[in-house]
């Protein structure tokens, strides 16, 4: 499953279920479309997976409408998505990238996610959760560098710290979203924008030097990295590209591939909680990363799908110790 580079013949093809659209809204009006997926779809759970916490300036939920701001090859876009009836999704988009955002709507909703070969019956919990959630899909954004930057920001810190840093950096150094957003929203910086964030900006946002260095160094050759990832034919090839970057390990690579490419097999090895969660759900006991990979081995090609199902199962290990308190180094 690959994403075609902007301008390729495949990228210009209208997607099934989405009518052809002009490329921008220069006069400020919205472009609109209707999408009818050919499979069951839990659109809110699929799309809102991309949000970085409740305060994410790039994504919010306002009643039944999901709002998402992104950068496209044509420019910034604001996308509003609403399921108007079962199997009918309407979307409107504003900004120079509006047409691209609407063309990407099916992929964001998981249209490219192929569950063929997935056998939920290998474990009773997975079988039951899969039966109860036929609309689970793994969507992809196509926003490669933004997915990478957010993953680096989330390295080795609590979710609270990571979401706060993402919110601050995007708000301070991003671009105000076009359209009638329900609150002020922002697109992430450009690749060069990430590169030129001043040292005080990273520090004030609460990021440590290793994280900021990783993003800045990747941004120096960001266009080359993005092209290499778009050309890669599968998750393993993308993993090799990402791991070659300084400061990037298995966890950051997996998180990038999950968000940007909808990789159904990516496993975030090295996560503080994930192995414990998988072990508890599938065996009733904790395990380490090696144990997690052994437990997920019966589902080759679909390990991320199993992890999503475990997340929906409600199987949570009882807490035995104090919560991890975030460390604030900004006053050092």
- Judge whether residue 8 has pLDDT over 70: no
Chain mean position to CA 39: 21
The range of the structural domain enclosing residue 73 comes to 26-113
Place 179 in a pLDDT band, splitting at 50, 70 and 90: very high
Q: Which helix (H) or strand (E) holds 107?
A: helix 105-108
CATH number of the domain that residue 199 is part of: 1.10.340.30
pLDDT digits (tens, 9 = 90+) for 27-77: 578 999 999 999 999 999 999 999 999 999 999 999 999 999 999 999 999
Task: Pick the range with the lowest mean pLDDT from 12-26, 101-115, 168-182.
Answer: 12-26
Alpha-carbon distances, residue 175 vs 152, 170, 172 (angstroms): 20, 8, 9
How many structural domains is the chain composed of? Answer: 3
- Judge whether residue 210 has pLDDT over 90: yes
Separation between Cα atoms, residue 121 and residue 128, nearest integer Å: 8
Alpha-carbon distances, residue 42 vs 104, 137, 138 (angstroms): 17, 7, 10
- Judge whether residue 235 has pLDDT over 90: yes
CATH number of the domain that residue 40 is part of: 3.30.310.20
Residue 31 near residue 22 (C-beta atoms within 8 A): yes
On the CB side of 200, CA atoms within 13 Å amount to 1
Say yes or no: 30 and 106 in one domain. Answer: yes
Alpha helices per DSSP H over 133-268: 144-153, 159-173, 191-195, 199-205, 209-220, 222-231, 235-243, 250-261
Q: What pLDDT is stored for residue 328 in this prediction?
A: 57
| Mean pLDDT confidence for 2-20 | 34
pLDDT digits (tens, 9 = 90+) for 284-332: 999 999 999 999 999 999 999 999 999 999 988 876 655 555 555 555 5
| Average pLDDT of the residues of the chain | 90
pLDDT digits (tens, 9 = 90+) for 247-260: 999 999 999 999 99
Q: What pLDDT is stored for residue 321 in this prediction?
A: 57
Say yes or no: 167 and 226 in one domain. Answer: yes
Question: What is the reported pTM?
Answer: 0.87
- Judge whether residue 20 has pLDDT over 50: no
Say yes or no: 94 and 185 in one domain. Answer: no
Q: What pLDDT is stored for residue 276 in this prediction?
A: 95
Task: Pick the range with the lowest mean pLDDT from 12-26, 173-187, 222-236.
Answer: 12-26
Chain mean position to CA 193: 20
- Judge whether residue 95 has pLDDT over 50: yes
Say yes or no: 148 and 223 in one domain. Answer: yes
Say yes or no: 222 and 281 in one domain. Answer: no
- Judge whether residue 18 has pLDDT over 80: no
- Judge whether residue 22 has pLDDT over 90: no
Say yes or no: 154 and 254 in one domain. Answer: yes
Residue 40 domain-assigned (yes or no): yes
Residue 304 near residue 138 (C-beta atoms within 8 A): yes
Residue 219 domain-assigned (yes or no): yes
- Judge whether residue 140 has pLDDT over 80: yes
Domain boundary among 93, 113, 133: 113
Say yes or no: 164 and 100 in one domain. Answer: no
Residue 65 domain-assigned (yes or no): yes
Task: Pick the range with the lowest mean pLDDT from 140-149, 153-162, 231-240.
Answer: 153-162
- Judge whether residue 26 has pLDDT over 70: no
Taking Cα atoms as reference points, which of 83, 93, 98 lies closest to residue 35? 83
- Judge whether residue 153 has pLDDT over 70: yes
- Judge whether residue 191 has pLDDT over 90: yes
Say yes or no: 222 and 194 in one domain. Answer: yes
Q: What pLDDT is stored for residue 29 in this prediction?
A: 86
Q: What pLDDT is stored for residue 299 in this prediction?
A: 98
Q: What pLDDT is stored for residue 7 in this prediction?
A: 33
Residue 83 near residue 44 (C-beta atoms within 8 A): yes
- Judge whether residue 84 has pLDDT over 80: yes
């Amino acid at each position: 499953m690959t994403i075609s580079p902007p301008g390729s013949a495949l990228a210009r093809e209208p997607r099934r279920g989405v009518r052809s659209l002009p490329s921008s809204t220069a006069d400020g009006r919205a472009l609109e479309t209707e999408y009818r997926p050919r499979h069951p779809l839990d659109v809110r759970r699929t799309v809102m997976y991309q949000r970085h916490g409740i305060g994410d300036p790039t994504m919010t939920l306002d009643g039944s409408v999901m709002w998402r701001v992104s950068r496209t090859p044509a420019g910034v876009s604001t996308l509003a998505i609403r399921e108007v009836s079962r199997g009918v999704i309407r979307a409107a988009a504003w900004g120079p990238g509006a047409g691209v955002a609407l063309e990407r709507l099916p992929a964001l909703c998981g249209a490219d996610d192929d569950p063929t070969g997935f056998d939920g019956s290998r474990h009773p919990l997975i079988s039951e959760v899969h039966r109860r959630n036929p609309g689970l899909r793994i969507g992809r954004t196509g926003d490669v560098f933004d997915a990478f930057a957010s993953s680096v920001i989330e390295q080795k810190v609590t979710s609270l710290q990571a979401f706060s840093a993402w919110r601050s950096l995007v708000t301070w150094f991003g671009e105000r979203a076009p359209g009638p957003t329900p609150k002020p929203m922002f697109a992430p910086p450009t690749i060069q924008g990430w590169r030129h964030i001043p040292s005080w900006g990273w520090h004030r946002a609460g990021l440590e030097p290793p994280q900021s260095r990783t993003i800045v160094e990747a941004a120096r050759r960001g266009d080359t990295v993005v092209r290499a990832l778009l050309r890669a034919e599968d998750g393993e090839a993308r993993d090799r590209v990402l791991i070659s970057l300084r400061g990037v390990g298995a966890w950051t690579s997996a998180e990038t591939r999950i968000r940007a490419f909808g990789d159904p097999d990516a496993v975030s090895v090295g996560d503080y909680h994930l192995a414990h969660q998988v072990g508890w759900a599938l065996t009733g006991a904790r395990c380490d990363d090696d144990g997690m990979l052994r437990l997920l081995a019966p589902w080759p090609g679909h390990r991320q799908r199993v992890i999503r199902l475990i997340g929906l199962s409600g199987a949570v290990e009882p807490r035995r110790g104090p919560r991890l308190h975030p460390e604030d180094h900004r006053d050092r």
